[in-house]
Amino acid sequence: MSAKTLMIQGTASSVGKSVIVTALCRIFRQDGFKVAPFKAQNMALNSFVTREGGEIGRAQAVQAEAAGIEPSVHMNPVLLKPEAEAKSQVIVLGKVAKNLEANQYYDYTPHLLGVIQDSLNHLRDNYDIVLIEGAGSPAEINLKEREIVNMRVARMVNAPVLLVGDIDRGGVFASIIGTLELLTAEERNLVKGLIINKFRGDLTLLKPGLVSLEKKTTKPVLGVIPYFRGISIAQEDSVYLDERTDRLDGKGVNIAVIRLPHISNYDDFDPLEEMGCNLRYVTEPPALSNADLIILPGTKSTIADLLYLRQQGLDQAIIQRAKTGTPVIGICGGYQMLGKTIKDPYKVESTEISVAGLGLLDMETTFDQVKTTTQIRARLVANKGLFEGLKGAEITGYEIHMGQTRSQNHPPAFQVVETPQGTADYSDGAVNGDCLIFGTYIHGLFHNVNLTLALLNRLRKLRGLPVAAKISIDRDEQYNELARIVRENLDMSEVYRIALERKHG
Protein backbone atom coordinates (compact mmCIF):
# COMPACT_ATOMS: atom_id res chain seq x y z
CA MET A 1 0.00 0.00 0.00
CA SER A 2 1.23 3.56 -0.73
CA ALA A 3 2.59 5.50 2.21
CA LYS A 4 0.66 8.26 3.91
CA THR A 5 1.97 11.75 3.19
CA LEU A 6 2.31 14.91 5.25
CA MET A 7 3.63 18.16 3.81
CA ILE A 8 5.37 21.00 5.64
CA GLN A 9 5.11 24.35 3.87
CA GLY A 10 6.18 27.78 5.08
CA THR A 11 5.17 31.40 4.76
CA ALA A 12 8.69 32.23 3.47
CA SER A 13 12.20 30.87 3.11
CA SER A 14 14.16 30.12 6.26
CA VAL A 15 11.13 29.84 8.57
CA GLY A 16 12.31 26.42 9.80
CA LYS A 17 10.64 23.93 7.44
CA SER A 18 13.76 21.77 7.09
CA VAL A 19 14.33 21.57 10.84
CA ILE A 20 10.71 20.68 11.56
CA VAL A 21 10.79 17.94 8.92
CA THR A 22 14.01 16.66 10.50
CA ALA A 23 12.34 16.57 13.92
CA LEU A 24 9.26 14.78 12.58
CA CYS A 25 11.45 12.24 10.77
CA ARG A 26 13.02 11.35 14.11
CA ILE A 27 9.68 11.39 15.99
CA PHE A 28 7.97 9.07 13.48
CA ARG A 29 10.99 6.78 13.56
CA GLN A 30 10.91 6.71 17.38
CA ASP A 31 7.24 5.77 17.18
CA GLY A 32 7.93 2.77 14.96
CA PHE A 33 7.22 4.07 11.46
CA LYS A 34 9.36 3.75 8.36
CA VAL A 35 9.56 7.38 7.29
CA ALA A 36 11.32 9.12 4.39
CA PRO A 37 11.82 12.83 3.57
CA PHE A 38 11.03 14.31 0.17
CA LYS A 39 11.60 17.69 -1.46
CA ALA A 40 10.67 17.87 -5.12
CA GLN A 41 12.91 20.80 -5.96
CA ASN A 42 15.63 22.28 -3.83
CA MET A 43 17.71 25.37 -4.53
CA ALA A 44 20.81 25.01 -2.40
CA LEU A 45 24.58 25.13 -2.54
CA ASN A 46 24.81 22.82 0.46
CA SER A 47 24.65 19.39 -1.15
CA PHE A 48 25.46 15.77 -0.37
CA VAL A 49 26.50 12.74 -2.41
CA THR A 50 24.52 9.52 -1.98
CA ARG A 51 26.03 6.03 -2.12
CA GLU A 52 25.00 5.71 -5.75
CA GLY A 53 26.94 8.88 -6.54
CA GLY A 54 23.95 11.20 -6.92
CA GLU A 55 23.85 14.76 -5.63
CA ILE A 56 20.96 15.92 -3.42
CA GLY A 57 20.31 18.77 -1.01
CA ARG A 58 22.16 18.49 2.29
CA ALA A 59 18.92 19.01 4.21
CA GLN A 60 17.37 15.85 2.76
CA ALA A 61 20.50 13.86 3.67
CA VAL A 62 20.21 15.12 7.26
CA GLN A 63 16.50 14.28 7.35
CA ALA A 64 17.24 10.78 6.10
CA GLU A 65 19.85 10.39 8.82
CA ALA A 66 17.28 11.48 11.41
CA ALA A 67 14.89 8.90 9.95
CA GLY A 68 17.57 6.20 10.19
CA ILE A 69 17.69 5.47 6.46
CA GLU A 70 20.14 5.77 3.59
CA PRO A 71 19.81 9.03 1.57
CA SER A 72 18.56 8.57 -1.99
CA VAL A 73 18.27 10.75 -5.09
CA HIS A 74 14.50 10.11 -4.94
CA MET A 75 14.35 12.24 -1.78
CA ASN A 76 15.34 15.32 -3.82
CA PRO A 77 14.86 14.57 -7.52
CA VAL A 78 15.53 18.16 -8.68
CA LEU A 79 18.38 20.22 -7.24
CA LEU A 80 19.25 23.74 -8.44
CA LYS A 81 22.72 25.05 -7.72
CA PRO A 82 22.98 28.80 -8.43
CA GLU A 83 26.02 29.87 -10.43
CA ALA A 84 27.51 33.18 -11.49
CA GLU A 85 25.83 35.19 -14.25
CA ALA A 86 22.28 34.42 -13.00
CA LYS A 87 22.34 30.79 -14.06
CA SER A 88 21.72 27.56 -12.19
CA GLN A 89 23.04 24.08 -12.66
CA VAL A 90 20.01 21.78 -12.86
CA ILE A 91 20.60 18.37 -11.29
CA VAL A 92 17.99 15.70 -12.00
CA LEU A 93 18.03 12.42 -10.07
CA GLY A 94 21.51 13.25 -8.81
CA LYS A 95 23.17 14.06 -12.14
CA VAL A 96 23.77 17.32 -14.01
CA ALA A 97 21.08 17.75 -16.68
CA LYS A 98 21.36 21.38 -17.83
CA ASN A 99 22.67 24.86 -17.04
CA LEU A 100 19.81 27.32 -17.39
CA GLU A 101 18.84 30.92 -16.73
CA ALA A 102 15.73 31.48 -14.58
CA ASN A 103 13.32 32.10 -17.48
CA GLN A 104 14.66 29.04 -19.30
CA TYR A 105 14.23 26.90 -16.20
CA TYR A 106 10.56 27.73 -15.79
CA ASP A 107 9.97 26.68 -19.40
CA TYR A 108 11.72 23.41 -18.49
CA THR A 109 9.77 22.59 -15.29
CA PRO A 110 6.83 20.83 -17.00
CA HIS A 111 9.31 18.18 -18.18
CA LEU A 112 10.28 17.53 -14.54
CA LEU A 113 6.82 16.73 -13.19
CA GLY A 114 7.01 13.10 -14.32
CA VAL A 115 10.38 12.66 -12.60
CA ILE A 116 8.99 14.16 -9.40
CA GLN A 117 5.90 11.94 -9.52
CA ASP A 118 8.01 8.80 -10.10
CA SER A 119 10.36 9.60 -7.19
CA LEU A 120 7.45 10.29 -4.86
CA ASN A 121 5.77 7.04 -5.93
CA HIS A 122 9.02 5.16 -5.32
CA LEU A 123 9.22 6.44 -1.75
CA ARG A 124 5.53 5.80 -1.11
CA ASP A 125 5.98 2.19 -2.22
CA ASN A 126 8.77 1.63 0.30
CA TYR A 127 7.82 3.61 3.42
CA ASP A 128 4.91 4.08 5.81
CA ILE A 129 5.03 7.89 5.84
CA VAL A 130 6.62 10.34 3.41
CA LEU A 131 7.31 13.78 4.86
CA ILE A 132 7.24 16.33 2.04
CA GLU A 133 8.96 19.69 2.40
CA GLY A 134 7.95 22.74 0.41
CA ALA A 135 10.22 25.58 -0.69
CA GLY A 136 9.91 29.28 0.01
CA SER A 137 6.22 30.18 0.08
CA PRO A 138 3.25 28.59 -1.72
CA ALA A 139 1.81 32.08 -2.24
CA GLU A 140 4.34 33.47 -4.74
CA ILE A 141 1.64 34.55 -7.17
CA ASN A 142 4.10 35.30 -9.98
CA LEU A 143 5.37 31.70 -9.91
CA LYS A 144 2.32 29.65 -8.92
CA GLU A 145 1.48 28.52 -12.42
CA ARG A 146 5.01 27.13 -12.93
CA GLU A 147 6.06 25.95 -9.47
CA ILE A 148 6.78 22.25 -8.92
CA VAL A 149 7.52 22.08 -5.20
CA ASN A 150 4.62 23.43 -3.13
CA MET A 151 0.88 23.11 -3.73
CA ARG A 152 1.35 21.35 -7.07
CA VAL A 153 3.07 18.51 -5.20
CA ALA A 154 0.48 18.57 -2.41
CA ARG A 155 -2.29 18.20 -5.00
CA MET A 156 -0.34 15.46 -6.78
CA VAL A 157 -0.82 13.10 -3.81
CA ASN A 158 -3.58 14.94 -1.92
CA ALA A 159 -1.14 15.55 0.95
CA PRO A 160 -2.39 17.37 4.05
CA VAL A 161 -0.30 20.49 4.68
CA LEU A 162 0.97 22.08 7.89
CA LEU A 163 1.89 25.75 7.38
CA VAL A 164 4.87 27.12 9.34
CA GLY A 165 5.42 30.78 10.24
CA ASP A 166 8.50 32.32 11.87
CA ILE A 167 7.55 34.60 14.76
CA ASP A 168 11.13 35.63 15.47
CA ARG A 169 11.32 37.78 12.33
CA GLY A 170 8.02 39.53 13.17
CA GLY A 171 4.69 39.74 11.38
CA VAL A 172 3.87 36.07 11.80
CA PHE A 173 0.10 36.57 11.98
CA ALA A 174 0.03 38.71 8.84
CA SER A 175 2.29 36.28 6.99
CA ILE A 176 0.11 33.27 7.82
CA ILE A 177 -3.19 35.01 7.07
CA GLY A 178 -1.77 36.59 3.91
CA THR A 179 -0.43 33.27 2.68
CA LEU A 180 -3.78 31.56 3.16
CA GLU A 181 -5.62 34.45 1.45
CA LEU A 182 -3.46 34.10 -1.66
CA LEU A 183 -4.17 30.38 -2.00
CA THR A 184 -7.08 28.99 -3.97
CA ALA A 185 -10.00 27.45 -2.09
CA GLU A 186 -8.73 23.97 -3.03
CA GLU A 187 -5.25 24.78 -1.73
CA ARG A 188 -6.56 26.31 1.52
CA ASN A 189 -8.55 23.15 2.10
CA LEU A 190 -5.31 21.13 2.01
CA VAL A 191 -3.89 23.21 4.89
CA LYS A 192 -4.91 21.30 8.01
CA GLY A 193 -2.97 23.13 10.70
CA LEU A 194 -0.59 25.96 11.60
CA ILE A 195 2.77 25.94 13.41
CA ILE A 196 4.40 29.00 14.98
CA ASN A 197 8.18 28.58 14.99
CA LYS A 198 11.13 30.23 16.79
CA PHE A 199 9.15 31.72 19.69
CA ARG A 200 10.93 33.54 22.52
CA GLY A 201 9.08 34.83 25.56
CA ASP A 202 5.96 34.24 27.63
CA LEU A 203 3.49 31.94 25.85
CA THR A 204 0.56 33.33 27.85
CA LEU A 205 1.07 36.71 26.15
CA LEU A 206 0.86 35.02 22.75
CA LYS A 207 -2.31 33.03 23.38
CA PRO A 208 -4.84 35.81 22.58
CA GLY A 209 -3.16 36.17 19.18
CA LEU A 210 -3.39 32.43 18.59
CA VAL A 211 -7.13 32.46 19.38
CA SER A 212 -7.68 35.31 16.90
CA LEU A 213 -5.56 33.52 14.30
CA GLU A 214 -7.65 30.38 14.57
CA LYS A 215 -10.87 32.38 14.24
CA LYS A 216 -9.68 34.30 11.19
CA THR A 217 -8.24 31.31 9.36
CA THR A 218 -10.48 28.50 10.71
CA LYS A 219 -7.25 26.50 10.99
CA PRO A 220 -6.00 25.06 14.30
CA VAL A 221 -2.66 26.15 15.72
CA LEU A 222 -0.99 22.81 16.41
CA GLY A 223 1.95 24.16 18.34
CA VAL A 224 4.40 26.91 19.17
CA ILE A 225 8.00 25.74 18.81
CA PRO A 226 10.47 27.65 21.01
CA TYR A 227 13.62 29.26 19.69
CA PHE A 228 16.46 26.95 20.66
CA ARG A 229 20.24 26.86 20.53
CA GLY A 230 22.85 24.17 21.02
CA ILE A 231 21.49 21.77 18.39
CA SER A 232 23.51 21.74 15.18
CA ILE A 233 21.35 20.78 12.19
CA ALA A 234 22.82 21.39 8.72
CA GLN A 235 21.12 24.31 6.98
CA GLU A 236 20.46 24.52 3.24
CA ASP A 237 19.93 28.26 2.96
CA SER A 238 22.81 30.76 3.22
CA VAL A 239 20.39 33.10 5.04
CA TYR A 240 21.56 31.09 8.05
CA LEU A 241 24.97 32.78 7.75
CA ASP A 242 23.30 36.20 8.05
CA GLU A 243 21.45 35.17 11.20
CA ARG A 244 24.25 33.37 13.06
CA THR A 245 26.21 35.10 15.82
CA ASP A 246 29.99 34.86 15.87
CA ARG A 247 31.52 33.78 19.15
CA LEU A 248 34.77 35.50 20.12
CA ASP A 249 35.62 34.56 23.70
CA GLY A 250 39.33 35.36 23.47
CA LYS A 251 40.26 31.85 24.59
CA GLY A 252 39.86 29.37 21.77
CA VAL A 253 41.29 29.02 18.29
CA ASN A 254 40.18 31.81 15.96
CA ILE A 255 39.13 30.40 12.58
CA ALA A 256 38.22 32.68 9.68
CA VAL A 257 36.17 31.13 6.86
CA ILE A 258 36.09 33.33 3.78
CA ARG A 259 32.42 33.99 2.98
CA LEU A 260 32.43 33.65 -0.78
CA PRO A 261 29.38 34.86 -2.76
CA HIS A 262 28.70 31.31 -3.97
CA ILE A 263 29.86 29.50 -0.82
CA SER A 264 28.79 25.86 -0.75
CA ASN A 265 28.67 23.14 1.88
CA TYR A 266 29.44 25.54 4.72
CA ASP A 267 28.13 22.89 7.12
CA ASP A 268 31.60 21.35 6.56
CA PHE A 269 32.72 23.71 9.34
CA ASP A 270 29.99 23.15 11.94
CA PRO A 271 32.14 20.65 13.90
CA LEU A 272 34.85 23.29 14.37
CA GLU A 273 32.39 25.46 16.25
CA GLU A 274 31.03 22.49 18.17
CA MET A 275 34.61 21.81 19.33
CA GLY A 276 34.91 25.25 20.89
CA CYS A 277 36.60 27.22 18.11
CA ASN A 278 35.76 30.86 17.45
CA LEU A 279 34.41 30.48 13.93
CA ARG A 280 33.74 33.56 11.79
CA TYR A 281 32.62 34.01 8.19
CA VAL A 282 34.53 37.03 6.91
CA THR A 283 34.31 39.33 3.89
CA GLU A 284 36.99 41.96 4.57
CA PRO A 285 40.81 41.80 5.00
CA PRO A 286 40.92 43.32 8.54
CA ALA A 287 38.89 40.37 9.82
CA LEU A 288 41.88 38.10 9.10
CA SER A 289 44.22 39.99 11.42
CA ASN A 290 43.77 37.71 14.44
CA ALA A 291 42.98 34.47 12.59
CA ASP A 292 44.86 31.37 13.77
CA LEU A 293 43.57 29.48 10.73
CA ILE A 294 42.11 30.67 7.41
CA ILE A 295 39.77 28.44 5.43
CA LEU A 296 38.80 28.89 1.80
CA PRO A 297 35.51 26.95 1.53
CA GLY A 298 33.84 25.21 -1.35
CA THR A 299 32.09 27.28 -4.01
CA LYS A 300 29.83 26.60 -6.98
CA SER A 301 31.65 29.32 -8.99
CA THR A 302 35.38 29.13 -8.33
CA ILE A 303 36.49 31.67 -10.94
CA ALA A 304 33.83 34.27 -10.08
CA ASP A 305 34.60 33.94 -6.37
CA LEU A 306 38.34 34.15 -6.99
CA LEU A 307 37.75 37.45 -8.79
CA TYR A 308 35.67 38.53 -5.79
CA LEU A 309 38.65 37.84 -3.51
CA ARG A 310 40.72 40.19 -5.63
CA GLN A 311 38.06 42.90 -5.65
CA GLN A 312 37.89 42.76 -1.85
CA GLY A 313 41.65 42.67 -1.38
CA LEU A 314 41.25 39.35 0.38
CA ASP A 315 43.66 37.58 -1.98
CA GLN A 316 46.65 39.63 -0.84
CA ALA A 317 45.54 39.49 2.79
CA ILE A 318 45.44 35.68 2.66
CA ILE A 319 48.82 35.50 0.91
CA GLN A 320 50.46 37.80 3.46
CA ARG A 321 49.05 35.89 6.42
CA ALA A 322 50.25 32.61 4.86
CA LYS A 323 53.76 34.07 4.45
CA THR A 324 53.85 34.90 8.17
CA GLY A 325 52.96 31.34 9.14
CA THR A 326 49.16 31.39 9.46
CA PRO A 327 47.85 28.00 8.25
CA VAL A 328 45.51 28.07 5.24
CA ILE A 329 43.16 25.24 4.25
CA GLY A 330 41.23 25.07 0.99
CA ILE A 331 38.24 22.78 0.49
CA CYS A 332 37.09 21.87 -3.04
CA GLY A 333 36.74 25.23 -4.86
CA GLY A 334 38.89 26.80 -2.15
CA TYR A 335 41.51 24.13 -2.86
CA GLN A 336 41.44 25.06 -6.55
CA MET A 337 42.01 28.73 -5.66
CA LEU A 338 45.20 27.89 -3.74
CA GLY A 339 46.98 26.84 -6.96
CA LYS A 340 48.81 28.87 -9.59
CA THR A 341 46.31 28.55 -12.43
CA ILE A 342 42.68 27.62 -13.08
CA LYS A 343 41.86 26.74 -16.69
CA ASP A 344 38.36 26.58 -18.14
CA PRO A 345 38.80 25.47 -21.77
CA TYR A 346 35.15 24.47 -22.21
CA LYS A 347 33.86 27.62 -20.46
CA VAL A 348 32.15 25.49 -17.85
CA GLU A 349 32.12 28.31 -15.30
CA SER A 350 32.87 31.55 -17.11
CA THR A 351 34.11 33.21 -20.28
CA GLU A 352 37.66 33.19 -18.90
CA ILE A 353 39.90 30.53 -20.46
CA SER A 354 42.57 30.85 -17.77
CA VAL A 355 42.78 32.71 -14.44
CA ALA A 356 45.70 33.04 -12.04
CA GLY A 357 45.15 31.52 -8.60
CA LEU A 358 46.62 32.58 -5.27
CA GLY A 359 49.84 30.69 -5.97
CA LEU A 360 50.15 29.27 -2.45
CA LEU A 361 50.46 25.76 -3.90
CA ASP A 362 52.32 24.83 -7.10
CA MET A 363 49.45 23.20 -8.97
CA GLU A 364 47.00 23.67 -11.81
CA THR A 365 43.26 22.97 -12.11
CA THR A 366 41.47 22.31 -15.37
CA PHE A 367 37.68 22.29 -15.51
CA ASP A 368 36.03 19.60 -17.59
CA GLN A 369 32.45 18.81 -18.52
CA VAL A 370 32.09 15.76 -16.28
CA LYS A 371 31.19 16.21 -12.62
CA THR A 372 32.82 13.99 -10.00
CA THR A 373 30.33 12.95 -7.29
CA THR A 374 31.31 10.10 -4.99
CA GLN A 375 31.56 9.08 -1.37
CA ILE A 376 35.08 8.14 -0.31
CA ARG A 377 37.18 6.57 2.41
CA ALA A 378 40.73 7.88 2.53
CA ARG A 379 43.97 7.70 4.53
CA LEU A 380 46.10 10.66 5.51
CA VAL A 381 49.55 10.52 3.92
CA ALA A 382 50.89 13.88 5.12
CA ASN A 383 52.94 13.85 8.32
CA LYS A 384 54.10 17.40 9.10
CA GLY A 385 52.75 20.68 10.40
CA LEU A 386 49.05 20.39 11.12
CA PHE A 387 49.20 16.65 10.40
CA GLU A 388 52.30 15.73 12.39
CA GLY A 389 51.92 12.26 13.89
CA LEU A 390 48.62 11.64 12.08
CA LYS A 391 49.83 9.73 9.03
CA GLY A 392 47.59 6.75 8.26
CA ALA A 393 44.49 8.19 9.95
CA GLU A 394 41.34 7.17 8.09
CA ILE A 395 38.50 9.50 7.18
CA THR A 396 35.23 9.38 5.26
CA GLY A 397 33.67 12.13 3.18
CA TYR A 398 32.47 12.92 -0.32
CA GLU A 399 33.62 14.71 -3.47
CA ILE A 400 31.61 17.15 -5.62
CA HIS A 401 33.65 18.96 -8.26
CA MET A 402 33.91 19.70 -11.97
CA GLY A 403 37.69 20.16 -12.20
CA GLN A 404 40.80 18.00 -11.90
CA THR A 405 43.87 19.33 -10.11
CA ARG A 406 47.46 18.32 -10.81
CA SER A 407 50.57 19.10 -8.77
CA GLN A 408 54.14 18.25 -9.79
CA ASN A 409 55.96 19.48 -6.71
CA HIS A 410 53.65 18.98 -3.74
CA PRO A 411 52.83 15.64 -2.09
CA PRO A 412 49.14 14.72 -1.71
CA ALA A 413 47.23 15.14 1.52
CA PHE A 414 45.22 11.91 1.28
CA GLN A 415 45.11 8.60 -0.53
CA VAL A 416 41.57 7.52 -1.42
CA VAL A 417 41.24 3.79 -0.75
CA GLU A 418 37.55 3.07 -1.19
CA THR A 419 34.37 4.32 -2.86
CA PRO A 420 30.90 2.69 -2.87
CA GLN A 421 31.90 1.02 -6.12
CA GLY A 422 34.74 -0.85 -4.39
CA THR A 423 38.44 -0.37 -3.68
CA ALA A 424 40.14 2.75 -5.03
CA ASP A 425 43.68 4.01 -5.28
CA TYR A 426 44.15 7.68 -6.14
CA SER A 427 45.66 10.73 -4.48
CA ASP A 428 43.70 13.72 -3.22
CA GLY A 429 44.79 17.20 -2.33
CA ALA A 430 48.19 18.76 -1.87
CA VAL A 431 50.31 20.12 0.98
CA ASN A 432 53.18 22.60 0.98
CA GLY A 433 56.63 21.94 2.46
CA ASP A 434 55.81 22.60 6.11
CA CYS A 435 52.23 21.29 5.76
CA LEU A 436 50.68 24.51 7.00
CA ILE A 437 48.98 25.11 3.67
CA PHE A 438 46.93 22.30 2.19
CA GLY A 439 43.91 21.67 0.04
CA THR A 440 41.53 18.79 -0.58
CA TYR A 441 38.45 17.94 -2.61
CA ILE A 442 36.97 16.06 0.35
CA HIS A 443 33.81 17.54 1.86
CA GLY A 444 32.93 16.43 5.37
CA LEU A 445 36.60 16.41 6.38
CA PHE A 446 35.98 18.07 9.75
CA HIS A 447 33.09 15.73 10.53
CA ASN A 448 35.80 13.13 11.21
CA VAL A 449 35.95 14.11 14.86
CA ASN A 450 39.12 12.32 15.94
CA LEU A 451 41.21 13.71 13.08
CA THR A 452 39.77 17.19 13.53
CA LEU A 453 40.49 17.23 17.26
CA ALA A 454 44.07 16.12 16.61
CA LEU A 455 44.49 18.74 13.87
CA LEU A 456 43.11 21.49 16.12
CA ASN A 457 45.42 20.43 18.95
CA ARG A 458 48.39 20.64 16.57
CA LEU A 459 47.20 24.14 15.71
CA ARG A 460 46.83 25.02 19.38
CA LYS A 461 50.41 23.92 20.05
CA LEU A 462 51.67 26.00 17.12
CA ARG A 463 49.81 29.05 18.49
CA GLY A 464 50.85 28.46 22.10
CA LEU A 465 47.35 27.54 23.29
CA PRO A 466 46.44 24.70 25.66
CA VAL A 467 45.30 21.49 23.96
CA ALA A 468 41.73 20.25 24.33
CA ALA A 469 40.55 16.96 25.75
CA LYS A 470 38.69 14.38 23.67
CA ILE A 471 35.36 15.70 22.45
CA SER A 472 32.37 13.60 21.44
CA ILE A 473 29.82 14.93 18.95
CA ASP A 474 26.80 12.64 19.06
CA ARG A 475 24.59 13.48 16.07
CA ASP A 476 22.03 10.88 17.12
CA GLU A 477 21.69 12.55 20.51
CA GLN A 478 21.09 15.90 18.81
CA TYR A 479 18.29 14.44 16.67
CA ASN A 480 16.71 12.99 19.79
CA GLU A 481 16.90 16.34 21.59
CA LEU A 482 15.37 18.12 18.60
CA ALA A 483 12.58 15.54 18.53
CA ARG A 484 11.97 16.05 22.26
CA ILE A 485 11.58 19.81 21.86
CA VAL A 486 9.18 19.51 18.94
CA ARG A 487 7.20 16.64 20.49
CA GLU A 488 6.70 18.61 23.71
CA ASN A 489 5.47 21.71 21.89
CA LEU A 490 3.44 20.23 19.03
CA ASP A 491 0.10 18.43 19.33
CA MET A 492 1.44 15.14 17.99
CA SER A 493 -1.88 13.32 18.47
CA GLU A 494 -3.44 15.81 16.06
CA VAL A 495 -0.47 15.59 13.69
CA TYR A 496 -0.94 11.81 13.59
CA ARG A 497 -4.67 12.20 13.04
CA ILE A 498 -3.98 14.50 10.09
CA ALA A 499 -1.19 12.37 8.62
CA LEU A 500 -2.69 8.93 9.18
CA GLU A 501 -6.36 9.97 9.09
CA ARG A 502 -6.71 8.18 12.41
CA LYS A 503 -5.40 8.40 15.96
CA HIS A 504 -2.07 6.88 16.86
CA GLY A 505 -0.89 5.61 20.23
Residue 351 neighbours by CB under 8 Å, 6+ apart: none
CB 40 within 8 A of CB 73: no
Which residues fall within 8 angstroms of residue 341, CB to CB, at 6 or more apart? 354, 355, 356, 357, 364, 365
φ, ψ of residue 416 to 5 degrees: the values are -75, 125
Distances (CA, A) of 26 to 6, 40, 163: 14, 20, 19
Buried b (16+ CB within 10 A) or exposed e, 378-413: bebbbebbbbeebeebebebbbbbbbebebeebbbb
**Contact predicate 42/56, CB 8 Å:** yes
Q: What angle do CA 115, 116, 122 make, to 5 degrees?
A: 90
| Count of CB atoms situated within 10 Å of the CB of 422 | 6
Backbone angles phi, psi at 424, to 5 degrees: -140, 165
Instruction: Report in angstroms the alpha-carbon separations of 426 from 324, 378, 415, 472.
Output: 32, 9, 6, 31
Q: What sign does the CA torsion over 235, 238, 239, 242 have?
A: positive
d(CA 166, CA 227): 10
- What are 256's strand-pairing partners? 280, 294
410 part of the active site: no
Is 74 assigned a catalytic role? Answer: no
Catalytic residue (choose from 332, 401, 410, 435): 332
Q: What are the start-end ranges of the H helices in 68-196? A: 102-108, 113-126, 151-157, 172-181, 185-190
Q: Which residue numbers are catalytic?
A: 332, 443
